[in-house]
Every structure is written in C-alpha cells, then in structure tokens.
Amino acid sequence: MNSADFDREYVWHPFTQMRDWNSPGHAPIVIVEGHGTILKAEDGREYLDGNSSIWTNLHGHRRAEIDQAIRDQLDRIAHSSFLGLTNDVAARLARELVEVTGIEDGKVFFSDDGATAMEAALKMVHQARIQRGEKGRTTFISLGGGYHGDTVGAMSAGHSPLFHQAYKPLLFETREVMSPACYRCPYNRAKPERGADARATRQCNWECVGKLNIALDELGEKASAFVLEPRVQGAAGMLMHPAGYLEKAAAACRERGVWLVLDEVMTGFGRTGTMFAYQQEEVVPDLVALAKGLTGGYLPVAATVTSREIFDAFLGDYSELKTFFHGHSYTGNALGCAAALASLKIFDSEKTLEGNQARQKKLAEGLSRFWSHPNVGDVRQEGMIGAIEIVRNFTTRERFPFGERIGHQICEAARKHGLLTRPIGDVLMLMPPYCSTDEQLAQMTEALWQGLQEVLPM
C-alpha cells in the first residue's frame, strides 16, 4: 500500500465528505515536503500554498530561523507540564504577547488551537462575571455567520447554520446580531458596481451598529460580552466589515459595561496589515484569542490574552473556588512556544508588516482582473487576504445552487495549474504566505483565473 492507500483505509478528514474522498476517482494529494510558499507532493508535483495551509503559515515553510529555534529547543526539552510548573519559553512568549496585543497588564492563558482559545475566553468571561457579583450578565452577543471553532462553546458563539445545525440542541443560547459585511447587507442600497468594493460604495446608515445597540439595550444588564472576528469573518466567506464598525461597536459595548472578546485566530499576526486587525481602529479588547499564525504555522499553540480586570476576578482564597478550573495537557508546549518566539522575532528583523504592504499591492493587482468575469460578484481584500465571490447573477447577487459546488470545482481546476487553496462555499480565497514573491503571487491569481475560466468560460 502507498500513503494514499493508507489514508483511504484509515483516515477520517475534517470538513470532508468521506464518501467523495474515498471514491475511486479521487486521488488525494499527499504532501511530503514544503519550502517557502511551495508544497511538494509525494508524486513530485509542486504546488503554491495559496491559503497558507489553512490560514496558519506566515513566513513560509521550513523557515530557517523557526526550524533552528525548534531544534535548539528540542536539544533542551520538548514538553513539560504547565500545571504547577512553568517553563522559560512560555513565560517569555507570554510577555511578548502582552506587549504586541497592547492589553495593558494583560495575562496570557495558553491552549492548543483556535477553538480552545475561544472556549477558554468564553468560560473566563462567564466565570469572571459570577465572581464579580454580576451573576445576571450571562448572555453573549455574537455576529451572524461568526465562526470560532468546533468545540461546543465555540460553536455556541458562532452562527454558521451549515456547520452547526446538527449540534443545535447541544449549544447554549447566544444573541445573534447582523454581520456588518457590506456586499450582501440588506441595508446597503448601493447597486453592485464592477471594480468597486461594496464597503467603499455602500449606501446605508450604519444599520449594523443600530442593530447592535438595540440588542445591547434589550439585554441591558444581561449582556456579558460581544464576541466577534474583527474586520474579516473568515469561515463565513471572508466577509469584510467597513472601517469604523469595530470602533463603534466597541464604544457601544464599553458604555454599557459589556466586554469585547475578539477572535483574531485568523486575522492575527499581520494578516490584515497591522499585527492585529483591531489595531486598525482605536480599539483594545478585553480578551483576544490567538492561534493559527502564532507559531508561524508550525505547531498548535494558542493563547487567550485577557485584561487585568478579568484576571483579577479569579484571585482569592483557594477555598473560595475562584480558580479557573480549565486546562490542557500540552498547555505552554515548549517546542511551540520556541517557534512562536522565533516567528515574532522575524516580524522585527525582517520588518514583515512593511514588506507586506508591497505584497498586498501585488495581490490586489492580480485580483483586479477577476472583475471582468461576469460571474464574479465581488472582489474584496484586506491586507494579505483576497476573496472572490462567485455568483450566478451579478446584478441580483444570486448564488449558484449549493449542490453545484462551483467554488470547489474552480479550486479543483486551479490545482492543475499548481495552486492549492480551499473555497468557502462559492467564495474563492487567497491567503499567501508572507514570503511569497511577486512572481508567486501572480502565479496564484493566474492559476485561480485559469480554474475559473475552465469551470465558467466567459
């Protein structure tokens, strides 16, 4: 048996219809190596990593500094418990995270993945409210289409019918407010315009902020925290919010003593242009969840950074049971923390954010041609995230039937041109590693364009 046979025989893949995966016509791509922006398959073929290995990778694969940091750490120790002990790399990483997030006097709680970082955030908020004597503040508010991971708490804060429908009876209730994404906003009176980002041409009265204010007023003293992915909602289809929403929403929460929980699992570490998306607006969260890019895309380490106010609610005599009784075996993993420190160092030594300014311009150039295709409804970009929404009808924004899987077909076609990326429904997306050259960025958009032409010829 070769690796693909072993996979077919023994593996169950995430977010995958396994009947299709295991059908005789499907030959899985078996990745065996990577370098920079390139992923190499077992059959020798090379692909561009167009979604940074599901939004995790930052500086490229086999980045020398990160490889070395992991090797050096391996020569000392791979892992030791964070329960009742600490380790030097995790402690140093915590200090750096407090500094880069700008959460004054903040504290860092480590876990493993985006979902666990969010799960910890939700439990912290809930318990802190009780311990502060605010027992009535039990309701989380979160955005339509929001996605925060697949654990039960993270799903409860999410509103993704496709992913969460089957689990509804397991979830706790949260108050959903409309997503402020402009392209399909029912309050945006502007007609679709080719070449124009719906955020820039929108005609509205900030109804999204109005709806949030209504929810906050209705909930009153029951509102605990507003949970959202700032500026870009990833799994909802790279929905992009107009500049100013976050600031207005944060102010509305602040006025009413409602905490702001930001999920920067996807947007963090330079993806949107600034280190964190909230840094594009005058906002500092009470809690922020970090994962994916935290280790440069190498190892599963996540962090929930909290304000001192929330942390302090857990202090007390042991017998008061104010402890945060929550944790994971691999919390503070030394190899992962060493990788994260090395990744953060690259931001400084290489001036990654400055370099990304030029890369995102190049990406924008490549994306602009998609406007000429009649089935492209929207092309949107925020930093190093590009999204192309495919529609059946440009004027009405009508979608293709779900079952046609147009986005999937296009990405499958793009593979033949050397690009690996995964659509979200009919939204094609590119999220290149920051080490991508101008040529590689152009190749990515070209491959996607070829894929689009093959599935929907003009």
| From 148, 241, 248, 271, residue interacting with ligand PLP (rule: CB under 6 A) | 148
235 binds ligand PLP (CB under 6 A): yes
Q: Is 119 in the site for ligand PLP (CB under 6 A)?
A: no
- Nearer residue to ligand PLP within complex by CB, 235 or 427: 235
The residue number with the shortest CB distance to ligand PLP is 114
Distance between CA atoms of 153 and 169, rounded to whole angstroms? 12
Is the CB of 202 or the CB of 292 nearer to ligand PLP? 292
Query: How far apart are CB 82 and ligand PLP at their closest, in Å?
Result: 19
Among 291, 310, 344, 444, binds ligand PLP (CB under 6 A): 291
Residues 212-231 interacting with ligand PLP (rule: CB under 6 A): 229
Nearest-approach distance from CB 232 to ligand PLP, in angstroms: 9
Candidate residues 106, 234, 297, 377; the one interacting with ligand PLP per rule CB under 6 A: 234
Indicate the residue among 229 and 382 with the shorter CB distance to ligand PLP. 229
Q: Is 115 near ligand PLP (CB under 6 A)?
A: yes
For ligand PLP, which residue of 198, 266, 303, 427 counts as binding (CB under 6 A)?
266
Please give the residues from 292 up to 311 whose contact with ligand PLP meets the rule CB under 6 A: 292
Q: Which of 82, 109, 147, 434 binds ligand PLP (CB under 6 A)?
A: 147
Q: What residues numbered 237-256 form the site for ligand PLP, per CB under 6 A? A: none
Minimum Å gap between C-beta 154 and ligand PLP is: 7
Q: Is 114 in the site for ligand PLP (CB under 6 A)?
A: yes
- The answer to whether 149 contacts ligand PLP (rule: CB under 6 A) is yes
List interacting residues with ligand PLP (CB under 6 A). 113-115, 118, 147-149, 229, 234-235, 263, 265-266, 291-292
